[in-house]
Structure formats: C-alpha cells, structure tokens
C-alpha cells in the first residue's frame, strides 16, 4: 500500500478514505464476520452456521404482527447460495419445465404474464425444535426460530404447467430442482436439492414466487424464483428454482430418498419412512421474558404464534404452569389463510415466582398439538408443546431496574425525565425517574441499553450498563478509546453496523463518555 | 485535521480509516445527501423535500403484492421528526390521555397489555395526485406514490380510553397531538400537528400502533406510537402521538381549522369546507412501462392497486386507450379488509403504438372512481382516473435491447448465455443471446443495468449502457477512474450505498472495466 501524506484537501480526504476502504478487505482482520444479507442484523438471530448460512430468529425478535419481516426471517440453506451473477437479471431467470406435453424454459418475465396471486404461508425448517430432543441429533440445534410467516407473490404451478400443455398423464409427483452451487467432485445426486411432492398438491396450491412481503424475493430466500409448497416443511420449497418437472417417481436424489424422512433413532432413512411434507399443528409463546431476563410481577400479556399446514388454527390454550392448568387465548389480527400463522395473546397477572409458559393449539380439523414428540434420528418435526415452553422468572427485584429504564422486558412503567411541547402550546412533564448518575451519563447508559437497533447491550457486555451481550467484544476487556468508539459508531466495524443514521452528535458523545467512564 | 503518514501496519490502517470516516461529516463535501432512514434507497423514491422529509414511492417501485414494504413506503412529515433521544426507550414512550373520566399517561409498555390487534390499511397523503392539477397548487407535487398499504399492529383507541373510564359524555371528537419538533418563536397553534376526527370513528376502528409490517414502527413513520385512522387521509394518522383526547370540539390548531380542507381555488380554508377525512375510491396502474421506457409489442400483464377508505373494492376496469374502451380486471391476492388496497391485473396484447393505461375502481357501496376531480386550492384528494393514466410507448425497437437483457420492462424474453448444473447432475444450456461485446464487457453492461439493487443505471447516466439515470453524477461527464469506482462500490459515497454485499470481486472488475472502457 502506498503511503499517504498530509491529506489536507477534500480530494485528499476522499483519496484517503478510498484507499483505506479498498484496502481493508485484503487486510487480515482476525475475527471479522461478514455482514448478513437483506437487512438482517446479528442481534435478531442465533447464527448456527455461516456457509451454508443458518440463521435462527431469536425468540424475542418476533413481534406481535402476523408477518415476519425479511429482516427478521430465518435462513436455512443446504448448500452455498448461487453467485449473484446468476441472478443479475432477475427477469431473465429461466425455469426449465419438464414432464409436460411440451418442454422448455420459461423466464421470470414470462411468469409475470401468467395470473398472479399472493398467499400468506409459514416456512418452517424440518429441524425446527431439534434443540429440544434429548438424543442430540446432528444438524443445527434450532429451538423455535427456524420459522416465519410471509406474504408470497407469484403464479400457480398449475398455470405454469398449463403453458406446456399440462403434466403428462403418468405423472404423480411435482419435482423441483434448486440452483445451489454444487461442490466439485461429489455425485450431485448425493447433495443436490431436488424435492418431489405429490402432483395433486403441486397443482392444487403450489406457486412459483418472486416477491416476499412486497420486496423482490432476495437471493438468500431463493430469489429470483422459488417454489412455494404452502403448509409443507421448508425443504420442499425449493430455492433458486431451475427445473420444475412433472415426474412419475420421486426424485432419486438422497435428499428425497433417505433424507428428510421421519425415522427411528439409529435407523437409516428410506422411502418407507414418512417424508417431511405437511406441517402438523404447532404453537409457542414468544413473550414476555424471551430474552432470558426476569420480569416484574404484575399484569402481563402473553404473545405467541400458532399454525397448522393446510388447515389453519381453530383455537389456542395457554398454561402458566407447564401444562397443569389451561386458559383459552385470544386469536387476534387477520386470519391470513390456512397456511399462515395466527397470533394469539392472553392477559394475565403474574406474582413472584418461576413460570413455564406453554401453549397448545388445535387446528380446524380438531387435531391438537401433542404434549411430546417422539425422538427421531434427525430431530425433525418437533411440535410437542411441553418442550416449547418458555421459562420466565418473575421477580420484584427487576422493578428497580425497570424504573431506571434498563429493563428489556417491555414493562418499564416509568419514563425517563423529558419535557415536551404539546401541539396546543402547553408543556407537560412526564413522570420523573431518579437518575443514578449525572444526566449525561444517564443518557449514555440509556442509549447503550435501548437507543439503537440493535442496542449496544444486545451484542456487548459492559458492567457499568449491566449489559451482558455475548455477540461482540466485551467492552470492559477491550477498553476501546473514544476515537475507536466513534469510528465504530460512524462506520461500523466487522459485524457491527454503522449507527450514523441513528445517533446525533450529542448522543454519540454521551455514549462515548459513558463507555469510557473512569478510564 | 492531522496529517497521516506511512500507514503500513494494520493498526495504522484502522486509525487512518477511523480518522477519515470520523472527519468526513465535518468536511464540506458539496452535494452529499444524507442517507434515507429505514432501509429506504433513493432509487425507489422521488425526493420532494429533505427537512421535513417528503419521499414519494416511484411508480415502478411498487411490486405485485398487497403490502408496501417499509423500504418502499412513502414519507410525508409536516415538521422535522423528534430527536431519537425521545424514542430511545420505546416502551417508556408515554401518551397522555385526556377528556375521559380520569386522565393520565399510558406508556407503550402498558399499551401492550391491552388487547392487541393487526389491521391492513392504506396510508395516503391528502396531496397525493397534486401533480395532476393544472393550477399548480403549492406543496409537494406528488403523483401516485404518496400512498402505501401496510399491516399495523396495536390496540384499539376504545380500549385505551376505557382504561381511563371512557370518553366524557360531552365529547364529540378524538383529538391526537403529535410529537414533532416545533420551531421556536412561532405560535404552536399555527404549526403543530394536532388533528381531530369524529369520536364515533375513533371508538369504532382507530388504533394506537407500534408495529408496521412486523417491525417496530420506525421513527420516520411515527414510532414508537402513532394514531391509525383506517381509511382516512394520512394527516389524521398522527405520528409520535403525545396526547390522545376526547374533546367537545375540533382542535383549534390551524392544521384542523383551515388546513387540510377541500376548498375552492383562491379561497381561504375554514370549517365550512370539508376536512380531509375518508379517502374516496381510487386506483391506478403501476406497470408495465412505469419507468418511462418503451416496452416491446406482445403479451403484457397490467398491474395496479385500488382502494376505498372504509369500503373496500368491488371491481376494477382497465382501459388501454385512455378510457374509450374498458375491460374487467382481475382482483388477485388476499382481501386484507375494507381499508387495505386490492391488487389487480389484466392480461393483454399490445401492438406497436402509444397507450394510455387507466383504471377505474368501484367500491363496495357502488361508488365509482370519477373521470376527473375538481381543482381545489391545495390540490387535495385527486382520484380522477384520467389524470392517473400511465402513458406507455410500445415499440419493436425495444426488442433488440430486450434480447441483450437490457430492458427494464420485465419482458426480456431471452436469457443471457449461462450453463448451469442441475440437481440431477445433468447440464443444460439456456437459450443463447448474441452478445454485442466481449463476454466480460457484456457482463459489465448487464451488471450496470440490472445486477444490483438499486442498479447503477437507476441513478447514473452512461451512454455505453444506454442508461439515463438522473439521480447521481453523469458518468460520461464525471469519468471516474477505476480506483474511484471501486471505492464507491466498496463503501458507498454520499447518497450511493455500498455494494460490497452484492458484488463479487469478478463482478466489480467487470463493472469497472465496462465503465472505464475506452478511456
């Protein structure tokens, strides 16, 4: 790298910046994690694997609405994603259609000429809940977060096949082949993602989709075009769809023949074992207390989600004591269809103590979520309500913290001191807290714990803040100086995003002073 | 600024970067626009104003689904937004409730203890369509894009007021006061956003919302808490809600008394003029051809949106000839309720020529969108179908371009040359295009026009690419060298985002070579 001297002009600054930035990627930085795609930030996810990417939505990152935003949506890839060159021109993406009266390719541009529709559907990894099995099956130990509900826009498979004269008469399956990058030197049949579902299902409600929650389907979620098999486990919803075929038999690939089968522990998979198709009824509680912090006693509203592939949800019960006593929860918000999830809530009062919040859903055919789910070799399909319970500690001791605005539990009932001019010209003061430090330091502390998305505390530990984040460096150990903190806030570093948009100069100063206090 | 010499070590590079980045904001850069909030990128918007922010969704940025993502959602602020310090701890945000049996503050944390619900609703600025009036009313000249449809999660106003014993018996209005920053030295009554709607409406279906499309309500859209008045024009949906009052009279503020009234051109506003309340039936076409580029002759699918405040959509007709002949469009996707918009489409064949694509919606009470809308002083409420028409040129000449993958129209029917391994181990070749340049240059051109989001061509003009973007510098004039291009791609510059996530090293090289070709 060239040396740079006396960057006193604007142009020099630009050049300086240019060189520094361009040089960075080639510098050995040690542990610098790559940015996550599509606006996802690490604070919202548990990262099980980098390549292929496996991101689980953190339980406390689910909101109260029925749609999971892309920025919060889990990722499970079987193989590394295709290179972006392959998706450079989305409308030119071509799906080969086979097993019909005629065969050929159809571009996304031409798919958009067929009747369009939008459906809401849950995607859930077959291994969601694997963490709850005692026998420690191999694979990512997903707990509840390998699932999300989105709006998908595309065309019906039936309309696509009709463009080619319809499926051959002897066809029984719809087989989709993905566009994953295949490792060299390995028989593609053993690794390639190619899945078959019953043709009747394919013609009934399956779609080729190019839009997710109103955005062009991101590469990481299978864009430009993926197969949507509403109500079926994720693996069937083939990403980067390259071939769509009406076939006599199921794919001969391993992922179909022996993979993704519900089989006894210790047994090899084969076609006699049930394939991971329709998702049975399932539900879980997402709040309060999903961040692992104690919550104060008093009134709380319990929130969760419930779904049942192809069937929809009839009702949900909630128990505060791990299943001894049940109460009917309220289903709220729109019913987005039989393959979407329903949001539910329950108003309750919690005294000091330990609680196991569990939910038990019943689908519209009357099938009820079981208490337990049998162990199986790969840890698939867990929908037992007991293991999905959320343990919550309710304690008076959290109240003092909450008063200082330091609780993440959503029950901080007193506000920070603030004076606001109302529209009518009147001025009022909200209830006053009793800050422990100077106002500036108190602001710094509040900013550290709450101000930004994600907050500093989400990723970093810092004793002065009572913060215990484990994603980023421990700040008491790293002891960054003011300049380093300012740089990181201004431009991000490694996995840490830039906070330039979120913080004023004043706020940056308060944060810097708070983090460096006493040094 | 200090001089920096010989940054040869990793630490020096970090320091260099640190200083450069931290110094940047204080350097006079000339025209460097600030980043947009909430993942919004300039390519998707027409920017009418910076402070207060006014962003119109570009017509070709609407997708085919019924929900507008936050990243595409328009912004119209009457005053600068509150500082982020005020929203540092969302759950502590306090709404003062007045005009009830008791009065007091309620925090967002406590709002979340009340019955939660989610509704889909269109937000539309009163001035949407203002650009179509001939008398050039003052205010931002919105065309179609000051509108979006989102899922909003919150609690019913009725349930909030019930916490305070319910509205006083003599109350007739629900009055919300926003938390905007008020300019000093001006009577707040003349500028503050405080709006009143009939109390019956407030109790019927209005909400206090904290979530938008599954994400915590962003500051720019009124978070932590805004008032949602489903089916009413945007101004009533008070952002950063500070006070919610059941009142005997409408707010005495200017924005209620004389502002946002439908009044004859040249007349001052007063309470005798209709307030901008319920949104009448309206629709428009969003594609094809909304980017202003000609489209090739042949089959096309026309897409658009239709809505009617509180009433829902019964049907939509589309005309290709500016309203002489009409055909019934198909409503597709889920009906998300009476205040959401419906997506519609029409399959058609277009020969060479000029077309004016117009749509005419009918709501569920039978009211039909009018052909024209009368001029009014502030250019409010335009829902006339004629002015909302989309002019499209259909021309054979675009076909050659489309063959090279250069069309933005969504009808590029031939794909780029590519060889892909299928899952079953077979290899097939998609239809071959005839590249005009070398493969590398062709890749560069394709990347320039299509690869990224937003594409280079969206913002920049470059003759070699046939690109005519006007948002960023003209590249034939700027003639950036390779280093400058690489720096901009790696880290963004001014309004331009970083493309580090989207492009491989190879792709960056192809882009650089393409942009600098012949120099």
List of residues 6+ apart from B343 with CB closer than 8 A: A116, A118, B64, B65, B66, B303, B304, B305, B331, B332, B333
- 3-state class of B513 per DSSP? helix
Strand intervals (E) in A278-407: 282-287, 298-307, 313-319, 327-328, 330-332, 342-350, 353-363, 390-394
Residue A150 pairs in a beta bridge with A121
**Chain A: closest CA distance from residue B300 (Å):** 6
Q: Is B470 on the interface with A (CB under 8 A)?
A: no
Structure tokens at B435: 């590249």
Residue among A126, A82, A111, A306 nearest A227 (CA): A111
pLDDT tens for residues B125-162? 999 999 999 999 999 999 999 999 999 999 999 999 99
Structure tokens at A213: 């929650």
Write down all domains in chain B, each with its CATH number in brackets: 42-257 (3.90.420.10), 282-397 (2.60.40.650)
Mind giving me the DSSP string for B153-186?
Answer: EEEEHHHHHHTTT-B-TT--EEEEE--PPPPTTS
CB-side neighbour CA atoms (13 Å) of B377: 15
Mean pLDDT of B185-213: 96
Structure tokens at B88: 């540092």
d(CA B148, CA B57): 8
Cis geometry, peptide bond prior to residue B224 (ω within 30 degrees of 0)? yes
pLDDT tens for residues A72-126? 999 999 898 888 777 778 999 999 999 999 999 999 999 999 999 999 999 999 9
d(CA B202, CA B217): 20
* The pLDDT value given to residue A440: 67
List of residues 6+ apart from B262 with CB closer than 8 A: B273, B274, B275, B276, B376, B380, B381
List of residues 6+ apart from A181 with CB closer than 8 A: A79, A80, A81, A82, A83
Facing residue for B96 by CB, picked from A29, A182, A428: A428
d(CA B203, CA B223): 22
Residue in chain B lying closest to A488 (CA): B18
* The pLDDT value given to residue B518: 54
Structure tokens at B438: 């070398």
Is A504 exposed, middle or buried, given 0-12, 13-18 or 19+ CB atoms closer than 10 A? exposed
CB of A229 within 8 A of CB of A201? yes
Cis geometry, peptide bond prior to residue A454 (ω within 30 degrees of 0)? yes
Residue A496 pairs in a beta bridge with A493
Whether ipTM tops 0.90, in short, is no
Q: Exposure pattern of A80-95 as b/e (b: 16+ CB <10 Å)?
A: ebbebbbbbbbbbbbb
Using the predicted structure, report yes or no on whether residue A20 has a pLDDT greater than 50: no
* The pLDDT value given to residue B447: 82
d(CA A274, CA A279): 12
Residue A213 to residues A230, B113, B182, B314, Cα–Cα distance (Å)? 15, 28, 35, 24
pLDDT tens for residues B373-391? 999 999 999 999 999 999 9
Give A478's DSSP letter: H
d(CA A483, CA B405): 47
d(CA A22, CA A5): 18
When the pLDDT of each residue in chain A is averaged and rounded to a whole number, the result is 84
Facing residue for A89 by CB, picked from B109, B178, B412: B412
Alpha carbon of residue A305 to chain centroid: 14
Element (H, E) at B98: strand B94-98
Residue B277 to residues B131, B195, B229, Cα–Cα distance (Å)? 20, 10, 9
CB of A320 within 8 A of CB of A348? yes
* The pLDDT value given to residue B501: 66
pLDDT tens for residues B423-459? 332 222 222 222 233 566 677 887 888 767 677 887 7
d(CA B70, CA A86): 27
Confidence of residue A21 (pLDDT cuts 50, 70, 90): very low
Task: Identify all chain B residues contacting A193, using CB atoms and an 8 Å cutoff.
Answer: 423
Facing residue for A422 by CB, picked from B92, B153, B177: B177
d(CA B508, CA B519): 17
Best to test chain A binding among B61, B423, B455 (most A CBs inside 10 Å): B423
Confidence of residue B258 (pLDDT cuts 50, 70, 90): very high
Contact A118 B336 (CB under 8 A): no
Best to test chain B binding among A20, A73, A290, A414 (most B CBs inside 10 Å): A20
Task: Identify all chain B residues contacting A83, using CB atoms and an 8 Å cutoff.
Answer: 504
Residue A335 to residues A144, A255, A331, Cα–Cα distance (Å)? 21, 33, 9
pLDDT tens for residues B271-327? 999 999 999 999 999 999 999 999 999 999 999 999 999 999 999 999 999 999 999
Entry pTM: 0.76
Confidence of residue B27 (pLDDT cuts 50, 70, 90): very low
Structure tokens at A243: 């071939």
């Amino acid at each position: 790298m060239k040396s740079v001297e006396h960057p006193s002009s604007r142009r020099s600054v630009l050049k300086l910046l240019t060189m520094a930035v361009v040089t960075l990627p080639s510098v050995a930085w040690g542990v610098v994690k790559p940015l996550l795609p599509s606006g996802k930030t690490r604070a919202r996810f548990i990262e099980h694997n980098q390549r292929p990417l496996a991101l689980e939505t953190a339980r406390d990152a689910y909101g109260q609405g029925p749609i999971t935003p892309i920025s919060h949506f889990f990722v499970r890839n079987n193989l590394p994603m295709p290179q972006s060159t392959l998706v450079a021109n989305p409308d030119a993406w071509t799906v080969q259609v086979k097993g019909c009266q005629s065969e050929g390719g159809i571009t996304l541009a031409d798919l958009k000429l067929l009747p369009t529709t939008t459906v809401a559907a849950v995607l859930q990894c077959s291994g969601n809940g694997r963490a709850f099995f005692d026998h420690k099956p191999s694979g990512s130990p997903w707990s509840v977060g390998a699932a999300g509900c989105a709006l998908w826009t595309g065309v019906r498979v039936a309309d696509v096949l009709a463009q080619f004269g319809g499926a051959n008469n002897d066809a029984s399956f719809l087989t989709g082949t993905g566009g994953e990058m295949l490792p060299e030197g390995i028989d593609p049949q053993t690794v390639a993602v190619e899945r078959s579902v019953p043709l009747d299902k394919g013609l009934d409600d399956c779609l080729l989709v190019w839009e997710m929650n109103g955005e062009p389907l991101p590469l990481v979620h299978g864009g430009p075009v993926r197969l949507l098999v509403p109500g079926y486990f994720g693996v069937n919803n083939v990403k980067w769809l390259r071939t769509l075929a009406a076939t006599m038999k199921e794919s001969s690939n391993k992922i179909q023949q022996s993979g993704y089968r519900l089989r006894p522990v210790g047994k090899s998979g084969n076609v006699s074992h049930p394939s991971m198709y329709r998702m049975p009824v399932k539900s879980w509680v997402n709040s309060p207390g999903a961040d692992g912090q104690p919550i104060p006693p008093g009134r709380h509203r319990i929130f969760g989600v419930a779904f049942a592939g192809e069937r929809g949800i009839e009702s949900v019960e909630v128990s505060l004591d791990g299943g001894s006593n049940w109460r009917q929860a309220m289903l709220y918000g729109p019913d987005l269809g039989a393959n979407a999830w329903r949001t539910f809530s329950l108003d309750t009062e919690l005294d000091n103590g330990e609680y196991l919040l569990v939910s038990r859903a019943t689908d519209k055919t009357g099938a009820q979520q079981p208490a337990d789910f049998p162990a199986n070799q790969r840890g698939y399909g867990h929908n037992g309500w007991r293991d999905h319970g959320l343990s919550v500690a309710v304690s008076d001791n959290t109240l003092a913290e909450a008063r200082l605005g330091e609780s993440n539990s959503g029950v901080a009932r007193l506000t920070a001191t603030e004076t606001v001019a109302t529209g009518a010209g009147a001025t009022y003061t909200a209830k006053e807290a009793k800050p422990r430090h100077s106002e500036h330091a108190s602001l710094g502390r509040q900013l550290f714990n709450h101000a930004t998305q994600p907050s500093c505390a989400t990723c970093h530990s810092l004793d002065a803040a009572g913060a215990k984040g484990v994603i980023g460096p421990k700040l008491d150990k790293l002891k960054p100086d003011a300049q380093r903190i300012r740089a990181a806030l201004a431009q991000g570093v490694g996995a840490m995003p830039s906070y330039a948009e979120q913080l004023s100069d004043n706020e940056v100063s308060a944060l810097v002073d708070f983090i460096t206090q006493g040094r």
